[in-house]
Amino acid sequence: MRKRYLFLCTALFIATFAQAAEKYDTKAFRIITKLCTPCHGTPFYMAKQIDDDDWHYFFDTPGKLEHIHKGKPKALASLKNGLFKQKKKRLLKFLVNNSKFSGSVHGCDANFCGTHH
Ligand code: HEC
């Protein structure tokens, strides 16, 4: 009986803790805000414009992002930024997790409050 009680407590604790954990990658959020938001709107707004397959396509096709942004020096500078290069996979994951049919809708928090862009 005691063992079962302990198990229940642990399970509850983990469930509560998992709930309290961040619901999205705030680091990726901040990098996208810095590098892409001036043209694409807030990271959540940006992510919602296309679906997960499209995000994979644009990120995983070599030279694709550069090609789309040809003639846009600011965008090309963002793509060359060390932060972008280092965290590209993480940014892709964020965009996929929040993409068109992901069903994720974000409320107000310290980083984000509504779809202003
Ligand atoms: C200087 C402005 C600018 C910046 C900065 C910029 N983009 Fe873009 N991006 C554009 C424009 C303009 C388009 C073309 C939109 C169109 O043709 O419909 C575009 C298109 C895209 C597309 C094709 C899909 C779509 O929505 O049209 C992707 C993917 C994309 N950008 C990703 C990024 C990422 C990731 C960053 C940040 C690392 C970024 N962009 C930064 C201007 C920018």
Determine the distance separating the centroid of ligand 1 and the alpha carbon of 98, expressed in angstroms: 16
pLDDT at 55 over 70: yes
CB contact at 8 A, 107 and 72: no
Domain ranges of the chain: 24-117
Determine the distance separating the centroid of ligand 1 and the alpha carbon of 22, expressed in angstroms: 27
This prediction has a pTM of 0.84
| DSSP three-state, residue 9 | helix
Atom nearest to 81 CA in ligand 1: 38
Determine the distance separating the centroid of ligand 1 and the alpha carbon of 39, expressed in angstroms: 7
pLDDT above 70: percentage of residues in the chain: 82
Atom nearest to 59 CA in ligand 1: 29
Residue 20 vs residue 60, higher pLDDT: 60
Using alpha carbons, list the distances in angstroms from residue 37 to 42, 67, 107.
5, 19, 19
pLDDT given for residue 110 in this prediction: 84
How far apart are alpha carbons 39 and 22 in whole angstroms? 26
Give me the chain's average pLDDT, please.
88
Q: Is 45 in the pocket of ligand 1 (CB under 6 A)?
A: no
Q: Is 39 in the pocket of ligand 1 (CB under 6 A)?
A: yes
pLDDT at 51 over 70: yes
Cβ-Cβ contacts under 8 Å for 113 (sequence gap 6 or more) = none
Q: Which amino acid is at 78?
A: S
> What confidence tens digit (pLDDT) does each residue in 3-38 have?
776 766 666 666 655 555 668 999 999 999 999 999
pLDDT at 104 over 80: yes
